[in-house]
A and B are shown apart, each in its own frame.
Chain A
């Protein structure tokens, strides 16, 4: 798909170049020799567009395109060609899909994924190569900017450690001594539970039971009965999407909500608090974004997103939006020359995303955002910010040679 706008003469030329570029991809002329720098920039996207996480893929894609449209629909003066593949949330399919975008389509940038397991599979393929530059707009696997970190892998979202770690202190500060952790049994769940547990125990708390639910199962009655019989002071949970809706509703229906307060990384209530309804009211979570953050960029972004797509923006949209901002900054810095990989990487490393709806953030040496983590509470189905739980929090990037 080639993004088109009103046909001025210049753009007409660019459009013709884009067509030539497409022909080149078909095998007629080598693109870069024919029209150096004027062929469209190829952005490969690997995100879920079906299943439980379809909403996340859609929000990220929408916001990414919105950001680039706002900047004139071009990157470094060049038209853009988007190539999107549905990841189907399948880790086994990840290598094939990644190779298809890299080797067959020869994309300049690779945006994806949502799922931590897929992110690790992609990083193992992209990391050892010089190109393309990969930007992770959600998946938080610590390893991607940890032991698997590489010069051409960036992230605009979070590490699983980041939104979970501050929550441990929040629970301890609220006076809780014991807690049960519960999460889906996959990379993201494990890493978030470990981070939260670590900080909770540093502040004098004790995790009495660690419950794992097979991913992506959404039948929680057995675990809820177990929690009710253990009677901890608090529960620390990670679920997202449909699972988060069901868990929070079941938790309230089991009568646990008022007896054992529920905490977690913000995904527990992000983008789903409306579907959770009264069951989510009052739940406190920590995340790098909140709907009512008081900054100009956030207000403008939410209004624009609502106008363009008729939907309320959430953290996933913010991450897609910031991915767009990062691409724009880097491509402007090199004047659209995607061949200048080293300069592109340098521009991304030095980037400050000042106009991010989540508040300004910078890139760490391991290529992950250094960002504020907010404490939020659900009020009338909106995740309202209560304060900053951790200021400019940087992931420890364990095992990363660049950090």
Chain B
């Protein structure tokens, strides 16, 4: 999220590069030779049916799941070849927001946000307090939420608090696992806006697993669709709409997708609506 990163044009340099990834649990193969690029400064929406392994891919990139074979590069470094120290240094450069928030239930929101700072940085307590409150305000939580415990927060507030914690170390790359799931449409739209604002302000690269068609239309620069253990389609929303893959067709041009495709098409996409 450094300024320098933001100054660079949204170039084609990949911040995450996955090549020929195979992940399997016992006899069950989840990823069969998957390739994926996440480019610096973009919001990549990652879609796929339930049980297709969206979370597994995220967790593999994060190193929480072991892969069978293939190569994963994050920030240009092969994750198999880095030592522990380098790995820690890399981990500092990304933030993760888990689907259920995964806030530490024994800590207040402020302490949750400070937890990564306390581990990785040498800051005075005053600065940590100020930065935690700043992050809490950036994600749109009221100030009095800072001293509440996760069990006292609503679902939407937990998502925001989790985002604040993901941003604690000013990461360059943020993983969001279904950030708008479980939110009402208004809350979800607000959250989309929030992600977009933060992405622009802080120059983030966002890897977002989502089911939310609205989010895909509203904030994703590119979309990657996962099926059969591979990325079957990758590109802008227009690419998705014109894809002939049956699953992608069903997803983006099914009952739910069609309405959105219609309304969005005549609003701001240069390409003509295809065959709708």
Same complex: no
> Which residues of A pack against B, CB within 8 Å?
none
